[in-house]
Structure 1
Amino acid sequence: MDRGVVVSARLSASVIVFVAACAGAALAETEFRLELPAPDAALSRALSQVSLSREAAGNKEADAQDLFGAARADYARLIGALYDEGRYGGTVSILIDGREAATIAPMDAPARIGKVEIRVDPGPVFRFSRATIGPLAPVTQLPPSFRVSEVARSSAIVAATGNGVSAWRDAGHAKAAVARQTITADHRNQELAAEIALDPGPQAWFGTLQMTGNERLRSARLAKIAGFPSGEVFSPAALEEVRNRLRRTGIFSAVTLTEADTLRDGRLLDGELTVVEAKLRRLGFGAEVSTSDGGKLSGYWLHRNLLGGGEKLRLDAEVSGVGVGSGGTDYSFGARLDRPATFSPDTAAFLKTEIAREHEDDYTLSGYGLSFGLSHIFSAKLSAEAGIGYEWAKIEDGAGELIYRQMTFPMSATWENRNLPADATRGTYAKLDLMPFYGLGTTGSGARLQGDFRAYRGFGANDRFVLAGRAQIGGVFGSDLAETPRDYLFYSGGGGTVRGQPYQALGVRELQGGTLHTGGTRFVGLSAELRAGVTEKIGVVAFYDAGYISASDFFGDGGDWHSGAGLGLRYKTPIGPIRLDVAAPVDGSTGDGPQLYLGIGQAF
């Protein structure tokens, strides 16, 4: 095929795309035109999208030298775009103030450019007269467009070649490659013959991993965390798993894993790993405020490699309920130590503890807990955790003082499939927590179940509109209400459940003959939001929340519902959107008047 540049003859029935831009003193005003012999909106759009001249002409900071360089580069880009449309007989002419750009020597580049004209004669559409590739691995999926009589798009040839090589690599042939490629254009019959020969090469097994760059992390621990599958049949997916394991530890700021250029002993593929360790320590903080929940300040301190084996220590502190009219200020402090690659590369061991002092409307809690266990990552989307712990709490309320002590067996599973967890526009999220507990002394025994399920769907250009939904469910089973630790019970109201209703406004009155307000053993929360982008940074939200609490069953006569609705503003920042919501009660007897919520990140 001839990829040369041909200056086109005079064109008729022009389709013109016009862009004018101011580009500083050297480029006062540049006019851009793209002309075709006949109207073709799709082709005009495809050519415009790859043109660097169009982009430079619309850039106010581009000068004449930038535009000249873009024009010379456009010959190859536009020819490539024509090939992708199945047009192999086209011509391209690029005129700079009437002079063909290809004929202007680089040293004679103009100091000022007033007009750039691109004239394209696309020529006829070619179709495949032959489309063969082989030998193919058994599971190869070729693109439907790579077949006889289809439009001979260059992208179809590229896709077929890539799929053929990838299928052999997936089958363990690490050095599969293209052995020969013959592409012949028949201009008389407007046909293209494509013949691609593949060389699968021998099946390969993983060899050894060469590691460099680790300074504080011990090499033995780096190898354990990476989990390079030495001795197993080669798989590109296995290599990507190694990369993902290293990245999610948070120990490294950069991870590069490459394959050796050749097979050792004709069948072993060694890996070459280079890492750059991140700073050892990190400090973070957050803040939220609402008229019902009060203010909340939180912060953490993180050490990424405490003992040289990748151990991660995180200390968290939180003060909430600041300035709230009822209850009081709550305090909590927690510490968690994680050791990656325990028992297997995808399994981590953890030890955590927490102490807390909470002032709620109906009780005051002082307590602590200690637990240890294992977490496992099953895939990029699914992870789980299980452990054993001990908790102690002293409850002070209108009935006096109670002590709760229990052994706990917490388990959780998390499904994360959102495109952007902090500001999702599509995908799903689910977390299910199950905690059986065995009471000591007067504390009851049973299990606490809690679920959080979220879904997102974007609409319009760049997901300008997003419909988001959330469902929460909770229950305590097996223990009587009076014997259940008070912080295991459920309330509704506030920023985490029903906006527009006061914080923890909805509970039950079951204890002490129905005179003591407390949490329920059943909870359901429903939330829906419609998010709309006004500008690139600013968005608006309309939302509705509802909550249900009961001491007996789900959706029975013994429970109560309440709800709230409102509007909000969002301002996007690098750390997540700043959230401002104003909500008011819609249904129920627990609230009166609007509530204001301010924080960082979406409500869910």
Structure 2
Amino acid sequence: MALPLIRLTILRVLVLGAALAFASAAQALDFRLALPPNAEDLRGSIRGAMLSATAAEDPDAAPQDIIAAAQADYRRIMSALYEEGYFGPEVSIRIDGREAATLSPFEAPARIATLEVEVTPGPRFRFGRAEIAPLPPGVSPRESFRTGERARLSVMRGAARGGITAWRDIGHAKAELSEQRIVAMQPERRLNADLRLAPGPRLRFGRLLVSGAETVSAKRIRKIAGLPEGSVFDPEDLDRAVARLRRTGTFSSVAVTEADTPSPDGTLDVTVQLQENPPRRFGFGAELSSEEGGTVSAYWLHRNLLGGAERFRVGAEISGIGTGTKDDGEDYLVEFRFRRPAVIDSDTDFFAGAGFEVIDDPLFESDKGQILAGLIHTFGDEFEASASLGYRYASTRDDLGSRDFSQIILPVTAKLDRRDDFLDPARGYYLNVETMPFAGLNGTESGLRLTADARAYRALGEDDRVVLAGRLQFGSVMGPDITEVMPEDLFYLGGGGTVRGQDYQSLGVTLPGGEEVGGRSFLALSAEVRAKLRGAFGVVGFYDLGYVSDESFPDGGSANQAGAGIGLRYNTGIGPIRVDLAVPTTGPKAGEDIFFYIGIGQAF
């Protein structure tokens, strides 16, 4: 007998739900924005400035909230119109037929049915008189702040900021806008703007005060920041100080503030507010390709080893996992790195490192170690150079037999990075050049090893939907005969780093006696077309070509190989996940084998 009662209860719930839904629909707020026909191009900017329009779309918005938003919209709409050059507008906002400005949010009705906004922009104004003074010698107002140009609030604000910046750039740190006279001439549709600046005295940098540092000493922070105490104030010096502190990686937040008033001696103190990162960090990574196998890596990092923002990093890597070939086993690497910022000046760091590696590649095996120390100098945010002195040794086995090498090395590197993004660049270029003179102590004569890596990117279309990317790599060993060069200093082609679609390090050179070794020089070219699809997905087409030679420079008779393929990208927000499929386009297996590569970030 309970079944009919259950059915009746369900019916009542459905009827009640339908009634509530109907009531909710009936209470939907009717919003209207009325503009003259010749002002329809302003609808978007006016609609975007309105808080009440957004509140009207919220079914949970209370009448008090809508009234308060509407009252704030008078000023917001006027500001939007001033920005477009309209300085005589009329604005009416009516809630259920009553002007919103006359309503009290504390006596709001139970519900609101209509919200009507009527805007008459009036005539568009242009600048009549447009003056800003005083300005530093040789500085002129921006072109948009001139008689006859469209009068916009942003132009006036920009002119004032530009004038203040010009004074600050020559040491007047407390320059400010002291007076502004803005008069709208209604009949002439002209806006007269007279802006007056107060440059203030020319100041010098005073003390650098440190706040928020917990484990890094204030003395070291001042050394790293390199703010030139006693020198004429320059905003660029402040920017450089912030960049140097951030570059250490020790601080998660760096901000500078200037003192409100200068000191009596004409100096201006600056406070740097810092927040330190956790001192220790652990990370790991992984990559996979069908030919080169898997690679796993991990590291442990201390960001402030000795209390002076020193970085100490221990890393380990295993590569070539699961290749399944007897000629290509697993490689092992352990390395230690130490870097201390600001050892000579604020832009020169000291670094030292040591590494031990076991290499089992298709054409050679090697057990090697290296230790070196040197200096890195940073030139701005984009360019850095380093020089170091070190010692290395290697015990190798290849077609030429078992050999031991030892050398004194002097690596010198220069890197210029003007890419807009490290993991997914769309514009800019990158250049890395390394020259390494070496003095042979055992197994080799002295000579020079040179490598270069150049990359360029160009975006096409709206929202950078298509990106053209190109890469050129070059390497050369000069001095010793090819039989006296460390196998790991020679060059091989094939695999994800040079020519995709070819076996890993499959192309070297063949000596007259039939021995297969790496080349004394190589040249590799890569081209990609990257296109965005819907959502986070993208597609890539690529072609790689490489040459390797037994001479110090490749020529027309050098051995070569090529590969081509397509790839899929999924943008994670911190960099794309990369999946590439490639086939050889030259060689006996052209068009037959398929290789795949998986990683994070673009291929280059």
Structure 1 and Structure 2 fold alike (TM over 0.5): yes
Mapping 1:89-488, distance limit 5 Å: 89-96=88-95, 98-109=97-108, 116-265=115-264, 267-326=266-325, 327-488=328-489
Task: Provide the rounded CA distance (Å) in 1 between the counterparts of 2:40 and 2:468.
Answer: 33
1:523 aligns with 2:527: no
Shift of 1:585: 1.3
Mapping 1:11-90, distance limit 5 Å: 32-40=31-39, 42-54=41-53, 70-90=69-89
> Would the aligned equivalents of 1:493 and 1:502 in 2 still touch at CA under 8 Å?
yes
Question: How many residues are treated as equivalent by the alignment?
Answer: 580
> Which SS does the other structure have where 2:585 is aligned?
strand
> Would the aligned equivalents of 1:552 and 1:558 in 2 still touch at CA under 8 Å?
no
Q: Which amino acid aligns with 1:465?
A: V
Provide, for residues 402-460 of structure 1, a one-character-per-residue CA deviation record: whole Å limited to 9, x for no partner.
11111111111111112221111222211111111111123122111111111222233
Q: Which amino acid aligns with 2:499?
A: V
Of residues 528-537 and 222-231 in structure 1, the stretch that sits farther from structure 2 once superposed is 528-537
Shift of 1:125: 1.1
> Which SS does the other structure have where 1:44 is aligned?
helix
Provide, for residues 224-266 of structure 1, a one-character-per-residue CA deviation record: whole Å limited to 9, x for no partner.
1111210100001101111111111111111121000001015
Q: 1:117 to 1:567 in 2, by over 3 A?
A: farther
Q: In the alignment, which residue of structure 2 is the partner of 1:601?
A: 601
Of residues 479-488 and 50-59 in structure 1, the stretch that sits farther from structure 2 once superposed is 50-59
> Which SS does the other structure have where 2:418 is aligned?
strand
> Which SS does the other structure have where 1:169 is aligned?
helix
> Would the aligned equivalents of 1:26 and 1:112 in 2 still touch at CA under 8 Å?
no
Q: 1:57 to 1:321 in 2, by over 3 A?
A: farther
Provide, for residues 155-211 of structure 1, a one-character-per-residue CA deviation record: whole Å limited to 9, x for no partner.
111111110010000010011111211111111211111111111111100011111
> Which SS does the other structure have where 1:223 is aligned?
helix
Provide, for residues 510-530 of structure 1, a one-character-per-residue CA deviation record: whole Å limited to 9, x for no partner.
2xx341222112211212222
Q: 1:259 to 1:390 in 2, by over 3 A?
A: same
Shift of 1:555: 4.6
> Would the aligned equivalents of 2:498 and 2:524 in 1 still touch at CA under 8 Å?
yes
Task: Provide the rounded CA distance (Å) in 2 between the counterparts of 1:28 and 1:343.
Answer: 72
Q: 1:302 to 1:116 in 2, by over 3 A?
A: farther
Shift of 1:32: 5.0
Task: Provide the rounded CA distance (Å) in 1 between the counterparts of 2:496 and 2:549.
Answer: 20
Q: 1:401 to 1:209 in 2, by over 3 A?
A: same
Of residues 163-172 and 213-222 in structure 1, the stretch that sits farther from structure 2 once superposed is 213-222
> Would the aligned equivalents of 1:383 and 1:414 in 2 still touch at CA under 8 Å?
yes
Of residues 393-402 and 379-388 in structure 1, the stretch that sits farther from structure 2 once superposed is 393-402
> Which SS does the other structure have where 2:438 is aligned?
strand
Q: Which amino acid aligns with 2:276?
A: E
> Would the aligned equivalents of 2:303 and 2:310 in 1 still touch at CA under 8 Å?
yes
Provide, for residues 47-94 of structure 1, a one-character-per-residue CA deviation record: whole Å limited to 9, x for no partner.
344344555566788777766554444332221121121110012233
Q: Which amino acid aligns with 2:245?
A: L
Task: Provide the rounded CA distance (Å) in 2 between the counterparts of 1:51 and 1:275.
Answer: 38
> Which SS does the other structure have where 1:156 is aligned?
helix
1:581 aligns with 2:577: no
Q: Which amino acid aligns with 2:519?
A: G
Q: Which has the larger radius of gyration?
A: 2
Q: 1:174 to 1:476 in 2, by over 3 A?
A: same
Q: 1:582 to 1:54 in 2, by over 3 A?
A: farther
Task: Provide the rounded CA distance (Å) in 2 between the counterparts of 1:369 and 1:419.
Answer: 34
Q: Which amino acid aligns with 1:434?
A: T
> Would the aligned equivalents of 2:208 and 2:270 in 1 still touch at CA under 8 Å?
yes
Shift of 1:461: 3.2
Higher helix share: 2
Task: Provide the rounded CA distance (Å) in 2 between the counterparts of 1:570 and 1:65.
Answer: 48
Q: Which amino acid aligns with 2:289?
A: S
Shift of 1:103: 3.4
Query: Which stretches in structure 1 are left out of the alignment for 5+ residues?
Result: 1-21
Shift of 1:97: 5.3
Q: Which amino acid aligns with 2:556?
A: D
Task: Provide the rounded CA distance (Å) in 2 between the counterparts of 1:306 and 1:60.
Answer: 56
Q: 1:546 to 1:225 in 2, by over 3 A?
A: same
Shift of 1:111: 6.3
Q: 1:520 to 1:494 in 2, by over 3 A?
A: same
Task: Provide the rounded CA distance (Å) in 1 between the counterparts of 2:227 and 2:509.
Answer: 55
Q: Which amino acid aligns with 1:380?
A: D
> Would the aligned equivalents of 2:301 and 2:312 in 1 still touch at CA under 8 Å?
yes
* Percent of pairs with identical residues: 46
Q: 1:561 to 1:285 in 2, by over 3 A?
A: same
Q: 1:64 to 1:244 in 2, by over 3 A?
A: farther
Q: Which amino acid aligns with 1:455?
A: A
Shift of 1:269: 0.5
Task: Provide the rounded CA distance (Å) in 2 between the counterparts of 1:496 and 1:287.
Answer: 15
Shift of 1:563: 1.5
Shift of 1:134: 0.8
Q: 1:27 to 1:65 in 2, by over 3 A?
A: farther
> Would the aligned equivalents of 1:501 and 1:590 in 2 still touch at CA under 8 Å?
no
Q: 1:200 to 1:577 in 2, by over 3 A?
A: same
Q: Which amino acid aligns with 1:183?
A: I
Please report the RMSD computed on the Cα atoms of aligned residues, expressed in angstroms: 2.4
Task: Provide the rounded CA distance (Å) in 2 between the counterparts of 1:137 and 1:526.
Answer: 51
Of residues 559-568 and 226-235 in structure 1, the stretch that sits farther from structure 2 once superposed is 559-568
Shift of 1:107: 2.6
Shift of 1:560: 2.0
Query: Which stretches in structure 2 are left out of the alignment for 5+ residues?
Result: 1-20
Task: Provide the rounded CA distance (Å) in 2 between the counterparts of 1:86 and 1:254.
Answer: 40
Provide, for residues 246-297 of structure 1, a one-character-per-residue CA deviation record: whole Å limited to 9, x for no partner.
1111111111210000010151100112211110001111110010111000
> Which SS does the other structure have where 1:82 is aligned?
helix
Of residues 472-481 and 553-562 in structure 1, the stretch that sits farther from structure 2 once superposed is 553-562
Of residues 367-376 and 392-401 in structure 1, the stretch that sits farther from structure 2 once superposed is 392-401
> Would the aligned equivalents of 1:314 and 1:335 in 2 still touch at CA under 8 Å?
yes
Shift of 1:114: 6.1
Shift of 1:597: 0.8
> Would the aligned equivalents of 2:443 and 2:484 in 1 still touch at CA under 8 Å?
yes
Task: Provide the rounded CA distance (Å) in 2 between the counterparts of 1:487 and 1:195.
Answer: 70
> Would the aligned equivalents of 1:340 and 1:347 in 2 still touch at CA under 8 Å?
yes
Shift of 1:462: 2.5
Q: 1:115 to 1:251 in 2, by over 3 A?
A: farther
Q: In the alignment, which residue of structure 2 is the partner of 1:18?
A: none
Provide, for residues 540-573 of structure 1, a one-character-per-residue CA deviation record: whole Å limited to 9, x for no partner.
2122222121122545233122221111111122
Shift of 1:535: 2.7
Task: Provide the rounded CA distance (Å) in 1 between the counterparts of 2:433 and 2:250.
Answer: 28
Q: In the alignment, which residue of structure 1 is the partner of 2:7?
A: none
Q: 1:231 to 1:481 in 2, by over 3 A?
A: same
> Which SS does the other structure have where 1:173 is aligned?
coil
Q: Which amino acid aligns with 2:170?
A: A
Task: Provide the rounded CA distance (Å) in 1 between the counterparts of 2:571 and 2:556.
Answer: 43
